[in-house]
Structure 1
Amino acid sequence: MTGAGVRVGPAPGALPLLGHALPLGRRPLDFLASLPAHGDLVRIKLGPVPFHVLCDPDLVHQVLVDDRTYDKGGAIFDLVRTVAGNGLATCPHRDHRRQRRLLQPAFHRDRLPAYARVMSLEISAMLRSWTDGRSLDVLATMNELTASLATRTLFAAELDDATFGELRLCMHDVMTGMMRRMLLPWTVLNRLPTTGNRRFVRARRRLRQYVAQLTTDYRRAGVDHGDLLSILLAVRDDDGQGLTEAEIHDQVFTFYLGGSETTAPLLSWSLYLLGRHPAVRERLHEEVDAVLAGRIAEHDDIPRLGLTRRVIMETLRLYPPGWLFTRVTTRATELAGHRLPAGSIVVYSPHIVHHRADLFPDPERFDPDRWGEDAGRLARGVFTPFGSGARKCIGEVFALTEATLALASIVARWQLDPLPGAHTRLLPRLSSTPRSLPMTVRKRHPGAAERSVPAHGRTGSKPYDEQGQPLEEERWQTW
């Protein structure tokens, strides 16, 4: 791309020593959405370090498809790698092609019906635990649901309740510790023998032990359980080599991280937006009543859930789960006519482009109908909630299947309304996550008997009082 007609400039308001750290930390999405007014490639500073922010879809596309020049790296990926290792989502370009080829069978469309059956089981378990008229934190509840789904799709072999619960708790403690390290990147603090640090180290060790033991058990049994771990053990590269024990662990954690940090906020925001837009919700009730008649959604129902899909797409536009990503140039290059030396940090945020009024008219309005038949003809780089190019999220269809089944099933049986105490200010996490989303749940009666679906999971909910205050503390609150 040449520099003709492309604007390059600095963002105003940088403070001595801090740069733009304060506005980015206080109101990150508002700050990012303000940057296109200052250029297509905008320079910001975090402390003394310069960052080059992409505000133009053509530039976004150029960077994402050239992952050899713009490799994954920077502070975010470096911190995630300290915990997640060298998995598919965090590995550098030199390892990505091999990993992608090896892992692609795990997300083949032929596998989706089996995954969807597990999803329906867990969704059914969650919905049966809800009480009419009770208030719950939707974010915490969706986190529990996606954690159960991730664990069950990773390890489909029958696990006793104690092992299943311990696996989920280990995953949760590792995730919590990783988030703390992202917020407090000073190494000395992360080495102190605090309760949180000890819990993190213990959970990470236990998680490795569990994965190693399950791997041994799976290999001894020699059975394809139809889950992700079975595929990780079966894949071979062109030289006949499989994944090492360390690689299997890294992929397990990567899949868990991707599933929980993508689908939970997507579902939470979808339910919140529907609660704020009753006309859209009423139309969605009509769709799910016609398709599901009160039962749990299944894989074969997805083609008939068109409005459900459009609600999810519009939620992804307004609140893309991954809101900030970094790339590092591996060589000197030119971007938008601007010379970037090797080691330069390039930032892209789907939120920036998704909220440009010239690309999405009235961008702050929740309008699922903007995703009609012509939505597939969007220009490159305009809609990138799952990335683009060779490094586009391998689990995109998996995540959309999970979100569609969950949202349709929830709306078919329950009506959710935000409480006055609902807080939508974002936490600085990997995904665009609110602090909490307390909502009241009220039972719907679409006029059809529920079809029984057995449950394996134990998905609960976090209760809130009528003022939106939590009635009890739970460890999930630290997510």
Structure 2
Amino acid sequence: MRHLGSLLRNPLEGFERIGRDANGEIVRLNLGPFRPYLVTHPDHLQHVLRDNVENYRREGMMWKPLARLTGDASDVDPSWPVKRKVFQTLLSGPSIATIADEMTATIAEAVDQLAERAAPDEPVDAFAEMTRVVYRTIIRVLVGDRISLSQIDELGHVMVTATTSSFRARMLMPFVPLSIPLPGDRAFNACVQAMDDLVYPIVREARRDGAAGHDVVSMMIRARDDNGNGVDDKAVRDGVVGLFVASTDTTVSALSFLWDALDSHPDVRARLYEEIDTVIGTDVPSFDHLPKLVYTKQLLQEVLRRYSVAWVTPRTIAADDVIDGVRMHAGSTLIISPYLTHRLPGVWPDPDVFDPERFAPDRTRHRFAYTAFGGGPNQCSGRVFFFLEAPLILATLLSRFRPVLQNKTPIEPRVDITLKPREPVLIRLRPIKR
């Protein structure tokens, strides 16, 4: 109970204090009517996320309010067989190359527009600008050309509001029924309605037109399960929105936090710039460049380790179990926290030090030490998109500009469904003179 006050005042700081006290051991938190288990050690995570994954279900707590936005996120979603087929096709080798080509063109266009808007001596809000670039990039993959740029920008506003309006209250008080209003619920519900108003017409139009495109909406409409059954408009809507959330939120946050890391680590910044200049030069970044952007990928991985955008993911325990001698009771909530796992001194030497070399190709670690995208069979589908879009966006931006951080104090994270910068991240785009 001594942690409850700090959790309410500053959830992330209070949570980090709990993690330090636990130090990788399994603990059960006493927060009044809510008493979750906290599991952070990689050995224990392997049991939960892989070895006995069916016993730890994506139900309750975060998943309950999230379902109002993305649809059924549980492990018993009847439309999942169709969604899985679409995602597997989408993330296969040939499709990835096609997606990357589409991303390249959209990113270049978005950065061109950013260059036109940004005055040389006036800072821009990195979070807002990265939101615009990332959303435009992903939405083309999901719905093709069935949506205008103004609608994409509107979608960005809707999503940012939806994922920040009520999740703190709902996640800290998961025992409160949805029928009882909490702060932020009204704004969240309005955003869900706005999302429906944008996406459902696109789905219906695609179905009327025969769904012949290569976008996700068309693929989901055409897909069938093993019994030949398709899915209805709601399942298509939920699949698109779910993939959109998975493919954007982490990328936007990572591409906002990294400017603070680069500003405070000039050696890392210099090495990143050197790689971009060597690999990209004056070319337009493309899929063919990605395998050569080794340090860029290491940097992005370290940003996600340090800031752990998906800071907490809960599970509901289906049946009694034992992990490392500790009995886990059925019906209880189990909390996984990449934020805490990525700070365990016994797993990550000097965890508070920002060091992309942790992810050098010759380094090894426990396969569940790094859980920025989860692990096991339920690993986040946004992982593949992240390692396509994030390096391409960063390479496109840094091949034209040397961004200069304008904030005078370190960028602190804020707790929502994911971690986001607490204050605007202001960067000035200084053009490269070639």
Shorter-chain TM-score above 0.5: yes
**Match of 2:296?**
308
Aligned: 1:212 with 2:200: yes
For each residue in 1:282-318, what CA deviation from the matched residue of structure 2 results, as whole angstroms up to 9, or x when unmatched? 1111111112114442111101111111111111211
**In structure 2, how many angstroms separate the alpha carbons of the residues matched to 1:385 and 1:314?**
10
Match of 2:281 among 289, 293, 298: 293
The offset of 1:435, in angstroms, is: 1.1
Match of 2:411 among 424, 434, 440: 424
**Match of 2:427?**
440
Q: Is the 8 A contact 1:423 1:435 kept in 2?
A: no
For each residue in 1:52-111, what CA deviation from the matched residue of structure 2 results, as whole angstroms up to 9, or x when unmatched? 11121100111011221111123111121133221xxx2225658624244321222322
For each residue in 1:98-126, what CA deviation from the matched residue of structure 2 results, as whole angstroms up to 9, or x when unmatched? 24244321222322233223333343323
Q: Is the 8 A contact 1:288 1:412 kept in 2?
A: yes
Match of 1:57 among 26, 31, 42: 42
Fraction of identical pairs, as percent: 25
Aligned: 1:91 with 2:79: no
RMSD: 2.8
**Match of 1:461?**
none
The offset of 1:278, in angstroms, is: 1.2
Q: 1:384 to 1:245 in 2, by over 3 A?
A: same
Match of 1:383 among 366, 370, 375: 370
Count of paired positions: 425
**Match of 1:395?**
382
What is the 5 A alignment of 1:461-472? none
The offset of 1:203, in angstroms, is: 4.3
The offset of 1:219, in angstroms, is: 2.4
**Match of 2:333?**
345
Q: Is the 8 A contact 1:276 1:418 kept in 2?
A: no
Q: Is the 8 A contact 1:262 1:322 kept in 2?
A: yes
Q: Is the 8 A contact 1:421 1:438 kept in 2?
A: no
**In structure 1, how many angstroms separate the alpha carbons of the residues matched to 2:43 and 2:298?**
25
Matched residue type, 1:81: A
Match of 1:331 among 319, 322, 339: 319
**In structure 2, how many angstroms separate the alpha carbons of the residues matched to 1:111 and 1:378?**
30
Q: What SS class does the counterpart of residue 413 from structure 2 fall into?
A: strand
Q: Which moved more, 1:52-61 or 1:210-219?
A: 210-219
Match of 1:154 among 132, 142, 145: 142
The offset of 1:42, in angstroms, is: 1.6
What is the 5 A alignment of 1:161-240? 161-177=149-165, 179=167, 182=170, 187=178, 190=181, 200-240=188-228
**In structure 1, how many angstroms separate the alpha carbons of the residues matched to 2:44 and 2:12?**
27
**Match of 1:255?**
243
Unaligned runs of 5+ in 2: none
Unaligned runs of 5+ in 1: 1-13, 448-479
**Match of 2:58?**
72
Q: Is the 8 A contact 1:412 1:444 kept in 2?
A: no
**Match of 1:354?**
342
Match of 1:144 among 132, 146, 171: 132
The offset of 1:415, in angstroms, is: 2.0
For each residue in 1:144-201, what CA deviation from the matched residue of structure 2 results, as whole angstroms up to 9, or x when unmatched? 2222223222211253445444444444554454547637866567489xxx766654
**In structure 1, how many angstroms separate the alpha carbons of the residues matched to 2:341 and 2:164?**
30
Q: Which moved more, 1:415-424 or 1:183-192?
A: 183-192
Q: 1:23 to 1:174 in 2, by over 3 A?
A: closer
Q: 1:28 to 1:231 in 2, by over 3 A?
A: farther
The offset of 1:280, in angstroms, is: 1.3
For each residue in 1:197-223, what CA deviation from the matched residue of structure 2 results, as whole angstroms up to 9, or x when unmatched? 666545433432432322222223335
Q: What SS class does the counterpart of residue 30 from structure 2 fall into?
A: strand
Q: Which moved more, 1:157-166 or 1:76-85?
A: 157-166
Match of 1:103 among 84, 87, 108: 87
The offset of 1:428, in angstroms, is: 1.8
Q: Is the 8 A contact 1:20 1:45 kept in 2?
A: no
Q: Is the 8 A contact 2:164 2:416 kept in 1?
A: no
Matched residue type, 1:119: M
Q: 1:247 to 1:300 in 2, by over 3 A?
A: same
Match of 1:116 among 100, 105, 123: 100
**In structure 2, how many angstroms separate the alpha carbons of the residues matched to 1:21 and 1:46?**
10
**In structure 1, how many angstroms separate the alpha carbons of the residues matched to 2:212 and 2:134?**
23
**In structure 2, how many angstroms separate the alpha carbons of the residues matched to 1:276 and 1:252?**
38
**In structure 2, how many angstroms separate the alpha carbons of the residues matched to 1:407 and 1:245?**
35
Q: Which moved more, 1:140-149 or 1:306-315?
A: 140-149
Matched residue type, 2:414: L
Q: TM-score, normalised by structure 1?
A: 0.80
**In structure 2, how many angstroms separate the alpha carbons of the residues matched to 1:280 and 1:141?**
23
Q: Is the 8 A contact 2:316 2:331 kept in 1?
A: yes
What is the 5 A alignment of 1:14-25? 14-15=1-2, 18=4, 21-22=7-8, 25=11
Matched residue type, 1:67: V
**In structure 2, how many angstroms separate the alpha carbons of the residues matched to 1:280 and 1:398?**
24
Q: 1:434 to 1:191 in 2, by over 3 A?
A: closer
**Match of 2:399?**
412
